[in-house]
C-alpha cells in the first residue's frame, strides 16, 4: 500500500497549485502545507479525506480526531469543525486529498446493494478508520485522471461509485447507509441541520427542530449530539461565529456583523467570538485581512 500512497503523493504534488486546489475532477481537491498550521474553523461537508504525507487534527465539538497515512477521515454530515495540520515541513510537506461524498450517489448505490437494518444505538456522523488497499486503489485511479483529463467525464463517476462502495463495506458503512436512507435517524437529524444552516440567524426552537426530524425533544437532542458532537445551540453558535468572521474579513463593522448573524448583544458577541477564535472581533479582523488564506480549508 505504501507504493500506492507514494504514487498518489507524487500526483497530488504535481497538480497542486496552492494550499488548496479544486481540481478538474468534480468533488476532488488537493491540500498541501509546508509547516504546521493554526486551528482553522470551517463547515465540513460530507467528504472522505486521505492524508498522503504528514498528519492532521480535527476538532468537532469537544472531540479531537487525528489522522495520517494509516487511516482515513470521513464526514457523513455537514457540521462546523476546526482543523489543523500537525505534521509538515518543507522537506516533508503535508499532502492530502478530499473527495466529496454526495448522498444521492450513496442512495443510488444502495438500490443495488443488499438491504441492511439500521444499526442499534446512536451514531456519529464522522470518524477515522484504518486505510485499506481496496479503498486506496480507486482513489489513486481517480487522482490519476488529472493526467488524462479527457477521461474524466466517463471514468470519474465510475470511480466515485467504486469508492462509495468500498466505504459502505468498511467500518463506517452503517453510518453511510443511514445517510442514504430518508427515514433513518441520521437523515432526520440532517434535515434539522439543513434548517439550522439556512436560518442560523433566527432564534432556535428545539420543539420545532424535533418536529421537523420526527422525534421527541429528548430523542432529537440525544441523536443530534451523538451525530455532531454538539448540541443544536452549540451547532448554531458555531455557524453564527464563522459567518460573522467571514463578514469581518470583508470590512463589515463589528457590531453590524454580530447583529447580522443573530446576536442581539454586542458584548455577548464579542465575548463568544474571542472565546472561539482567540482574539476580539476587531483585532481578529485586522489579522484576517492581512492573511488571505486564513479562512481556507486546510
160-191, pLDDT tens digit by residue?
999 999 998 888 888 888 877 777 888 899 99
> Above 90 in pLDDT, residue 41?
no
| Residue-level pLDDT at 124 | 82
Helix axes 173-180, 103-110, angle to 10 degrees: 100
pLDDT at 135 over 70: yes
Average pLDDT over every residue of 121-147:
91
8 Å CB contact between 34 and 93 = yes
Average pLDDT over every residue of 9-37: 95
Q: Please give the domain boundaries of the chain with CATH numbers for all domains.
A: 2-179 (2.60.120), 182-233 (1.10.10.60), 239-289 (1.10.10.60)
> Which helix or strand (DSSP H or E) is residue 126 part of?
strand 126-130
Write down the pLDDT at residue 297. Answer: 47
Q: What is the 8-class DSSP label of residue 146?
A: G
pLDDT tens digit sequence for 227-252: 999 999 999 999 999 999 889 888 78
Q: What percent of the chain has pLDDT over 90?
A: 66
pLDDT tens for 72-124 read 999 988 989 999 999 999 999 999 999 999 877 777 777 766 555 555 555 78
Which of 38, 52, 122, 48 has the alpha carbon at shortest distance from 85? 38
Cα–Cα distance between 37 and 290 in angstroms, integer?
A: 16
- 79: β partners: 44
Q: Whole-angstrom Cα distance, residue 89 to residue 87?
A: 7
Determine contact, residues 166/130, Cβ cutoff 8 Å.
Answer: no
pLDDT at 114: 56
The answer, yes or no, to whether residue 136 has pLDDT greater than 60, is yes
User: Mind spelling out the 3-state secondary structure of 2-59?
Assistant: HHHHHHHHHHHHHHCCCCEEECCCCCEEEEEECCCCCCEEEEECCEEEEEEECEEEEE
pLDDT in tens, 71-86: 999 998 898 999 999 9
- From residue 60, alpha-carbon distances to 6, 78, 156, 210, 228 in Å are 29, 11, 30, 22, 7
Question: What region, left, alpha or beta, does residue 18 occupy, with left being phi > 0 and alpha being psi -120 to 50 degrees?
Answer: left
End-to-end, the C-alpha distance of the chain in Å comes to 25
Distance, CA of 278 to CA of 75 (rounded, Å): 26
- For the segment 216-220, the average pLDDT, to the nearest whole number, is 95
* 291 — pLDDT class (breaks 50, 70, 90): low
Evaluate whether 56 touches 123 at the Cβ level (below 8 Å): no
Q: Is the pLDDT of residue 298 over 50?
A: no
pLDDT higher at 285 or 199: 199
Amino acid at each position: 500500500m505504501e507504493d500506492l500512497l507514494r504514487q498518489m503523493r507524487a500526483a497530488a504534488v504535481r497538480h497542486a497549485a496552492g494550499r488548496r486546489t479544486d481540481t478538474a475532477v468534480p468533488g476532488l481537491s488537493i491540500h498541501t502545507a509546508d509547516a504546521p498550521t493554526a486551528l482553522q474553523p470551517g463547515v465540513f461537508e460530507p467528504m472522505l479525506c486521505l492524508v498522503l504525507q504528514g498528519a492532521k487534527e480535527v476538532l468537532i465539538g469537544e472531540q479531537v480526531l487525528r489522522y495520517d497515512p494509516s487511516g482515513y477521515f470521513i464526514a457523513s454530515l455537514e457540521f462546523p469543525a476546526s482543523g489543523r495540520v500537525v505534521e509538515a515541513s518543507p522537506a516533508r510537506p503535508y499532502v492530502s486529498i478530499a473527495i466529496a461524498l454526495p448522498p444521492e450517489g450513496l442512495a443510488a448505490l444502495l438500490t443495488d446493494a443488499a438491504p441492511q437494518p439500521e444499526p442499534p444505538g446512536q451514531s456519529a456522523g464522522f470518524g477515522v478508520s484504518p486505510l485499506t488497499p481496496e479503498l486506496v486503489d480507486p482513489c489513486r485511479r481517480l487522482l490519476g485522471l488529472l493526467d488524462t483529463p479527457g477521461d474524466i467525464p466517463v471514468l470519474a463517476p465510475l470511480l466515485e461509485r467504486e469508492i462509495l462502495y468500498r466505504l459502505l463495506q468498511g467500518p463506517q458503512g452503517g453510518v453511510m447507509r443511514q445517510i442514504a436512507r430518508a427515514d433513518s435517524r441520521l437523515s432526520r437529524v440532517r434535515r434539522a441541520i439543513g434548517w439550522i444552516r439556512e436560518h442560523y440567524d433566527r432564534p432556535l426552537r428545539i420543539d420545532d427542530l424535533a418536529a421537523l426530524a420526527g422525534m421527541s425533544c429528548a430523542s432529537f437532542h440525544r441523536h443530534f449530539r451523538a451525530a455532531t458532537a454538539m448540541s443544536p445551540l452549540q451547532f448554531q453558535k458555531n455557524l453564527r461565529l464563522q459567518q460573522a468572521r467571514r463578514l469581518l474579513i470583508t470590512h463589515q463593522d463589528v457590531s453590524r456583523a454580530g447583529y447580522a448573524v443573530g446576536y442581539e448583544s454586542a458584548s455577548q458577541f464579542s465575548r463568544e467570538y474571542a472565546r472561539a477564535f482567540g482574539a476580539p472581533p476587531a483585532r481578529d479582523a485586522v489579522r484576517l485581512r492581512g492573511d488571505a488564506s486564513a479562512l481556507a480549508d486546510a
